Amino acid sequence: AQTVTQSQPEMSVQEAETVTLSCTYDTSESDYYLFWYKQPPSRQMILVIRQEAYKQQNATENRFSVNFQKAAKSFSLKISDSQLGDAAMYFCAYRRTNFGNEKLTFGTGTRLTIIP
Amino acid sequence: KAGVTQTPRYLIKTRGQQVTLSCSPISGHRSVSWYQQTPGQGLQFLFEYFSETQRNKGNFPGRFSGRQFSNSRSEMNVSTLELGDSALYLCASSLVKGYDYNEQFFGPGTRLTVL
């Protein structure tokens, strides 16, 4: 079974600074997706960024980028120029790529606080 | 385009009762997945429905069941409620068109409290 581990229950960062959230996972599959989801307080979960395991290039979405280390099974999220709106729970998630499998396996989450 | 909607948003039940939660996916989306979110267990996959068929199931007791209708709307039912069933129940929908990646979109959740 696949597992996802987030070892940082809470993180804080000064506004405009950079923060990195950590995630490790375990799988025997060679192809899969990895995601970072954001869940703001009392608001819907939204997708921040996606990485396909077969791609060596790290995904980037504006201020959000990942460091994907396949051999180490590590998938960290870097948030640059942190903004107050980035405050949320962040979940790392894994999904197999086979058709017909929409199941996401989530980590326990990291609560990110932005300090003004 | 309207997002994923879930009803009701909040629900209070007592132990032993049963409850039905509803999820309306984004128009055109054919897959609906359900997740349970609790402080202790985190986000756990319950089941996924596609074209009215359950395709995947998580590790939950048989008290948890679901179904999907021809318009892709989905319901989940929990019978004989226990205190531990108190949670935020999230549903997510995706297009599932071909073999390409399809993003899952989450609803706001139903907050179930069991007293």
* Residues B37, A51, B46: CA angle, nearest 5 degrees: 25
Query: What are the 10-residue block averages of pLDDT along chain B, 115 residues in total?
Result: 92 97 95 95 94 93 97 97 97 82 91 97
List CB contacts (< 8 A) between A101 and chain B.
55-56
pLDDT tens, position by position, A51-98: 999 998 999 999 999 999 999 999 999 999 999 999 999 999 999 887
Q: Which residues make Cβ contacts (< 8 Å) with residue B9, sequence separation at least 6?
A: B108, B109, B110, B111
How large is the average pLDDT for residues A43-49? 94
CB contact (8 A) between residue B42 and residue A108? yes
Would you say residue A105 has pLDDT above 70? yes
How large is the average pLDDT for residues A15-23? 98
DSSP A57: S
Least CB–CB distance from B90: residue in A45, A50, A97 = A45
- Tell me if residue A76 falls in helix, strand or coil: strand
Average pLDDT, chain A: 94
Whole-number Å distance between alpha carbons of A82 and A68? 21
Which of A2, A44, A102, A108 to probe by mutation at the B interface, max B CB count within 10 Å? Answer: A102
Q: How many CB atoms lie within 10 A of CB A65?
A: 17
pLDDT at site B2: 83
pLDDT at site B99: 66
A5 and B CB contact within 8 Å: no
How far, CA to CA in Å, does A53 sit from each of A77, B24, B67, B76, B78? 15, 31, 32, 32, 36
pLDDT at site A23: 98
CB contact (8 A) between residue B107 and residue A105? no
Confidence band, pLDDT 50/70/90 cuts, at residue A102: confident
pLDDT tens, position by position, B42-54: 999 999 999 999 9
List CB contacts (< 8 A) between B4 and chain A.
44
* pLDDT higher at A29 or B18: B18
Would you say residue A4 has pLDDT above 70? yes
pLDDT at site A100: 73
CB contact (8 A) between residue B42 and residue A46? no
